[in-house]
């Protein structure tokens, strides 16, 4: 995993996990993120608009730390790379996907939630991993238990992260950032409520940057 990207994610502490249903919403959403202090995004490949949305966001805002999420196969990985994604994120750890990302020089953050998967990640030369689904897999206590024997691993918990519990994750040593979607609800994106989204994004930025 690129240290530069990890540093960018750790700097902002939150990675907005974004579902874009219409590509026309990509640029105004990118503008809203950048102007409200959160120039980072993970656009999930759960919709057909994802690749075009990433392309439009990258073109309009080259400075964005922009990832492609929920990549499940080589076709999606290639599409993410061609669209301009800086990194890819997967819900699980698929060695084929990891190796394909490496072959096209696209940094990848695969998902894990148990010791065997962490060891598989280490075997593949990975030390920055997504812990998913975070809350359902035991939350902060599970993370503390997993990190204890694996001193070289750093995590990005995602799944069930909210404004009410994010500090419980961020206070853990070697949790560099968290993925979350509460500040970018799909309904507000669909409605084009950029002012409302801007308020939620500013609120989230202020939340993670205050003293815990």
> What are the chain's domains?
3-206 (3.20.20.70)
pLDDT at 205: 98
Give CA separation, 27 vs 35, 86, 142, in Å. Answer: 12, 17, 38
| Alpha carbon distance 19, 184 (integer Å) | 8
| Alpha carbon distance 79, 58 (integer Å) | 14
- Taking the alpha carbons at both ends of the chain, their separation in whole angstroms is 28
pLDDT at 211: 58
pLDDT at 212: 46
The pair of three-digit structure tokens given for residue 118, joined into one six-digit string: 């962490």
Active-site residue list: 42, 130
pLDDT at 208: 96
**Predicted TM-score of the model (pTM):** 0.96
Q: Tens place of pLDDT for every residue, the chain, 212 residues?
A: 788 999 999 999 999 999 999 999 999 999 999 999 999 999 999 999 999 999 999 999 999 999 999 999 999 999 999 999 999 999 999 999 999 999 999 999 999 999 999 999 999 999 999 999 999 999 999 999 999 999 999 999 999 999 999 999 999 999 999 999 999 999 999 999 999 999 999 999 999 998 54
């Amino acid at each position: 995993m690129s240290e530069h990207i990890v540093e960018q994610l750790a700097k902002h502490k939150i990675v907005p996990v974004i579902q874009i249903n219409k590509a026309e919403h990509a640029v105004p959403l990118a503008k809203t993120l950048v102007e409200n202090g959160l120039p980072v995004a993970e656009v999930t490949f759960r919709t057909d608009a994802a690749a075009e949305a990433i392309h439009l966001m990258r073109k309009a805002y080259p400075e964005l730390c922009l990832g492609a999420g929920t990549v499940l196969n080589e076709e999606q990985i290639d599409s993410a790379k061609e669209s301009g994604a800086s990194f890819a994120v997967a819900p699980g750890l698929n060695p084929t996907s990891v190796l394909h990302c490496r072959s096209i020089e696209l940094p990848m953050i695969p998902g894990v939630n148990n010791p065997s998967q962490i060891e598989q990640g280490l075997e593949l030369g990975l030390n920055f991993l997504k812990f998913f689904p975070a809350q359902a897999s035991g939350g902060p206590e599970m993370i503390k238990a997993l990190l204890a024997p694996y001193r070289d691993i750093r995590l990005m918990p995602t799944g069930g992260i909210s404004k009410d519990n994010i500090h419980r994750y961020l206070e853990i040593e070697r949790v560099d950032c968290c993925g979350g979607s509460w500040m970018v609800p799909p309904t507000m994106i669909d409605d084009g409520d950029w002012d409302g989204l801007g308020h939620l994004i500013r609120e989230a930025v202020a939340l993670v940057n205050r003293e815990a």
